[in-house]
Amino acid sequence: MSDAYRPRRGTARAPDPPRRGRAPLLLGVALAVCLPWLSSASAQADPGGATPVERAVTPTERAEAPGEPAGASPRAGRGAASAELEPVPDFGANPGALSMFRYVPDGLPSGSPVVVVLHGCTQDAATYVDGAGWREFADEYGFAVVAPQQETANNANRCFNWFERADTARDSGEAASIRRMVEHTVGALDADPGRVFVTGLSAGGGMTSSLLAAYPDAFAGGAVIAGIPHGCASSLPEAFGCMNPGVTRTPAQWGDLVRSAHPDHEGDRPKVAVWHGTADTTVHPRNATESVKQWTDVLGADQTPDAEEQLPDGTTRSEHTDGSGEVVVREYVVPDMGHGTPVRPSEGCGRAGAHFLDTLCSTRHITGDWGLSG
């Protein structure tokens, strides 16, 4: 195990009651912030000929198959997983009023890693875990999956509230709830607290950035997919600007936003990977550039990559190393890809559908970057 993934410092009581009085406000916020997601013309067409957006937002389809993209089987991809994604109702303090789901492969030994997986707007925990292939990879490589789920009482379109400081700050709101889910899982499974990772798409990617900033002592690595830099927005107008056209700041300005999220932290920080499609019009690709600026500044790496590689599908992978020569930031630029998570069903990696785009297997690369695949 590399130094970056050594164990870090890390009991359950009844969940806090759901937050009250926020739904009317957040209804308007959610509709506004998620509208580009719902109407995006940038998503690639799926094998069935319809664009993923067309399938994602039809109310009839959602009513007929809750939590599943229309026409998709629950376990397509690498083969049926042996266990189930199960709800965990009593995981402890829950100031963000989120729901918790967990996938634990049969026979998972103590000391195993944990991966937190955050869905995008209009999705739920099961949709994203299955669509990106996380259950099958958990079975193959031996790790638990924690899948927080946003609820409509918090955000009408189930977007994680990455633009609300009360939900992204350390020990506050949704971020605190997700941290508590991790603590509960590590304790319940005797998992390795030094190998906890987080990834998310879009709004889930924005929340991933904030979790890495607020809890550098809890996560060993993260992967932000079509997401937003931490601290980009703290209001609805700012959220619009962050998504598209994006906000430009200096590396130091971005880095200060991360450092201020936990100013007392003096230990290691998580490695970060940033994924984005060049044809994304929902969350502008500029956000990937700004995220790389943010994390290279925080992690002591040059802005110019130390290595670049063209993957077989045309994706460019850039690597930034710190002073010791260790890769601490990776950027994956996927050509001609719209807004979504890259999957590769033909290679047993997830399934194509709404915001699951058939390009390459991001889940395989992410688990490899984290050292989970051997």
pLDDT in tens, 183-222: 999 999 999 999 999 999 999 999 999 999 999 999 999 9
How many Cβ atoms from other residues are within 10 Å of residue 353's Cβ? Answer: 27
AA letter at 236: L
Confidence of residue 65 (pLDDT cuts 50, 70, 90): very low
Q: 352 burial class (0-12, 13-18, 19+ CB within 10 angstroms)?
A: buried
Asked if the model's pLDDT at residue 70 lies above 60, the reply is no
Q: Class of 86-370 per CATH? A: alpha beta
For residue 309, pLDDT beyond 80: yes
Distance, in Å, from the CA atom of 293 to the CA atom of 245, rounded to the nearest integer, reads: 17
Q: How far is CA 119 from CA 33, 237, 282, in A?
A: 15, 23, 16
DSSP secondary structure code for residue 15 in this structure:
P
Exposed, middle or buried by CB within 10 Å (0-12, 13-18, 19+), for 51?
A: middle
Indicate the pLDDT class of residue 49, thresholds 50, 70 and 90.
very low
| Average pLDDT score over the chain | 84
What is the DSSP secondary-structure string of 301-323? --SS-SEEEE-TTS-EEEEEE-T
Structure tokens at 229: 């830099």
d(CA 275, CA 350): 17
C-alpha triplet 142, 146, 147: angle, nearest 5°:
130
Catalytic residue set? 202
Q: Give the separation between CA 197 and CA 184, rounded to whole angstroms.
A: 15
Q: How far apart are CA 349 and CA 346, in angstroms?
A: 7
Q: How far apart are CA 159 and CA 150, in angstroms?
A: 7
pLDDT at 82: 56
Mean pLDDT (whole number) for 312-330: 97
Residue 102 or 60, more confident: 102
User: pTM of the predicted model, to two decimals?
Assistant: 0.82
- Mean pLDDT across the stretch 25-30? 42
Per the CB < 8 A criterion, the answer to whether 315 and 335 are in contact is yes
Question: Which residue type is seen at 187?
Answer: G
Cα dist from 336 to 110, 281, 314, 341, whole Å: 42, 11, 10, 13
Strand segments, DSSP code E, in the chain are 85-87, 99-103, 114-118, 144-149, 196-201, 221-225, 271-277, 307-310, 316-321, 327-334, 341-343, 356-358
Rounded CA gap, 193 and 110, in Å?
11
> From CA 115, how far away is CA 119, in angstroms rounded?
13
Q: How confident is the model at residue 235 (pLDDT cuts 50, 70, 90)?
A: confident
Express as a percent the part of the chain with pLDDT over 90: 76
The Cβ of residue 13 has, within 10 Å, a number of other Cβ atoms equal to 11
Return the pLDDT at 236: 78
- The two structure tokens encoding residue 303: 């802005």
In this model, does residue 69 exceed pLDDT 60? no
Per-residue buried b or exposed e for 325-334, using 16+ beta carbons within 10 Å of the residue's own CB: eebbbbbbbb
